[in-house]
A and B are shown apart, each in its own frame.
Chain A
Amino acid sequence: MPDAVLHLDRLRKSFGALVVTDDLTFDVMPRELHAVIGPNGAGKTTLINQISGLIAPDSGTIQFAGRDITALPTHARAELGLARSFQVSSILPGFSALENVALAVQSRAGSSFRVLGRAAAEAALNEPAMAALADGEKRALELAIALAMQPKVLLLDEPMAGTGREETARLVELLRRLKGQFAVVLVEHDMTAVFALADRISVLIYGRILASGTPARVRADPRVVAAYLGDEME
């Protein structure tokens, strides 16, 4: 598929004897919301980490917006428009919410070697530091930081983890509104959210794609039901 915005080609990664990404080929089309589901330990987060450059694959290539980014460091990938959120919220705890987002904006604006002028949003000194926010608020902030980077592809690693039902609904609604502005790779355990949002779903098991297709097709696939959805849907 030549026009995919993100294309992984025969990606492989193993930790010792454990193969976590096994000859994986995976595409994300522009403006598509592509969900990746699978049981714990299927290699979903490892996959996201390889795409964002925190882990180097053993072999295979990653193409992003027509470029081979396999060897690029994380920050260079981010500059090209690859944003991500983390499963475990990784907001800067000593910074205010505003400053957390402001950092992403200034990264995008390329104005960070200004040594003297006082940074805006410093005025928010009296705002509560991040430690004071509720989990759901941290999740929303995590998303805000990623959005501030104006990404071409947004990697979301379990954005609903640890949020209550009401907050999940709110996040689903937010993602629905954002859909279509850029491509999203959504790793998520909340099947209701996944089936409500995804254009395409890939099922990852033991580092391999078991099935890939529209939500309706994946839901009907007997192998998927047997391997994963069976337990998950009960």
Chain B
Amino acid sequence: MAVLLAASPARPRGRLRALPACIFLAFALIPIVAPFVGGGYLVSLGSRVMIFAIAAVALDLLVGYGALISFGHAAFIGIGAYAVGILSVYGITDALVSLPVALAVSAAYAFLTGVVCLRTSGVYFIMITLAFGQMAFFTASSLAPFGGDDGLTIAARNTLAGLPLLRNERAFYYLVFVCLLGTYLFCRALVRSRFGRVVRGAKENPVRMATIGFDVYRFRLATYVIAGALAGLSGFLLANATEFVSPAYMSWQRSGELIVMVLLGGLGSLDGAIIGAAAYLLTEEWLSGVTEHWKVIFGPVLVLVVLFARGGLIGLARDLARRFARA
């Protein structure tokens, strides 16, 4: 994985400028074309893709821009989701409350664990984020009043300022859409800002950054908290999409899947994280329809992508665009 990090481009270079617009246009059009092709199924699949894309974009901030390979990212999704679930048990079902709570709790968990995790680096960072992720997982599993291992069914989706807006599939879809768009634009501004420049610099050479006066730890901690909160947003949406929360949301397999999404799409380009999330979930959806042993096919495909398309799908697309432009 270290090799991959080194080989990844520091930032997208030229070309494919229209790609983000195309991605979001495609997402925006899904509910409009859905009645003619897949119906409600396509809409719910689309919102699932976008929900995980939010978490993947957040993870890309850490892995792609900060070289911080977090193996516990799913924990923040789970915490955001549980915030919705637990509040609903107590009759608090409005998004105006549950969303801020979901963001605050996941950011707080990111802060508390980040203070410890970011003292380490490399393999140790991977292991300690994994440990904290598992800690969240086992804590959720032992929450007997909230379903324990079995999870917790939520009676109904959150209301928005008292209105049952999110119960409309299409309205919910566009809420997720706006959240993804907001996350993407925010992260894009972040990596290009002065703050982002420090984070990117610390990825390339933390010692140099310290000698020119940057407390790299503080910048990494801030990034970690931001990424945690955004994953919490994704958890908030996931709980509402499925009307169910479960410890499985925070399992380490789920954290691994998120890393795969980011790698598959291409590290260090936020567009890539979205494409990766879409490619992963759609392939999973399609292959699992073909055979129940779909992972046997999916595994080798992943190996091939990682081996032969170092920049992930987005790198592949960039190469093709370059060749096309030259021809």
B201 within 8 A of A: yes
Given A104-B212, A112-B198, A149-B212, A122-B192 contact (CB < 8 Å): yes
Task: Identify which of A53, A104, A113, A115 gathers the most chain B CB atoms within 10 Å of its CB.
Answer: A115
A115-B189, A116-B189 as given contacts; A107 in contact with B212, CB under 8 Å? yes
Q: A119 on the interface (CB 8 Å rule)?
A: yes
Is A61 at the interface (CB under 8 A from chain B)? no
Q: Is the CB of B194 within 8 A of A75?
A: no
A107 to B215, CA, bound (A): 10
Of all chain B residues, the one with the shortest Cβ separation from A108 is B213
Contacting B at CB under 8 A, from A53-104, are 53-54, 73-76, 78-79, 83-84, 86, 90-95, 99, 102-104
Please determine whether B211 and A78 come into contact, CB atoms closer than 8 angstroms: yes
B7 to chain A, nearest CB (A): 12
Q: Are B204 and A78 touching (Cβ within 8 A)?
A: no
Is B213 touching A92 in the complex (CB atoms < 8 A)? no
In the complex, whether A117 has a CB less than 8 A from a CB of chain B is yes
Q: Look across to chain B and name the residue whose beta carbon is closest to the beta carbon of A76.
A: B215
For window 1-22 of chain B, which residues contact chain A by CB distance below 8 Å?
9-11, 13
Chain A residue with Cβ nearest B197: A119
Number of interface residues of A (CB under 8 A): 39
The yes or no answer to B196 lying at the interface (CB within 8 A) is yes
Interface residues of B in 187-216 (CB under 8 A from A): 189-190, 192-198, 200-201, 204-205, 207-216
A129: chain B residues at CB < 8 Å are 10
A168, CB-defined interface residue at 8 Å: no
Query: Which residues of B are found within 8 Å of A73, using beta-carbon distances?
Result: 210, 215
Of the residues B193, B204, B212, B222, contact of A119 by C-beta under 8 Å: B193
Q: How far is the CA of A75 from the CA of B201 in the complex (A)?
A: 14
**Interface bin, chain B:** 20 to 34
Check if B190 sits within 8 Å of A116, measured CB to CB. Answer: yes
Q: Contact check: which of A74, A76, A95, A117 meets B201 at CB < 8 Å? A: A95
Cβ-neighbour of A116 out of B11, B193, B205, B214 (below 8 A): B193
How distant is A81 from chain B, measured CB to nearest CB, in Å?
Answer: 9
Query: Which residues of B approach A to under 8 Å, CB–CB?
Result: 9-11, 13, 189-190, 192-198, 200-201, 204-205, 207-216, 219, 222
Q: Hey, which bits of chain A sit against chain B, CB under 8 A? A: 52-54, 73-76, 78-79, 83-84, 86, 90-95, 99, 102-104, 106-108, 111-119, 122, 125, 129, 145, 149
Given A112-B214, A115-B190, 6 more A-B residue pairs with CB atoms under 8 Å apart are: A54-B210, A86-B211, A107-B214, A114-B193, A114-B195, A116-B193
Listed A/B pairs (27) with beta-carbon separation below 8 Å:
A52-B211, A74-B207, A75-B211, A75-B214, A78-B210, A83-B212, A86-B208, A86-B211, A90-B207, A92-B201, A92-B205, A92-B208, A95-B200, A95-B204, A99-B197, A104-B213, A106-B194, A106-B197, A111-B194, A112-B195, A112-B214, A115-B189, A115-B196, A119-B193, A119-B196, A119-B197, A122-B197
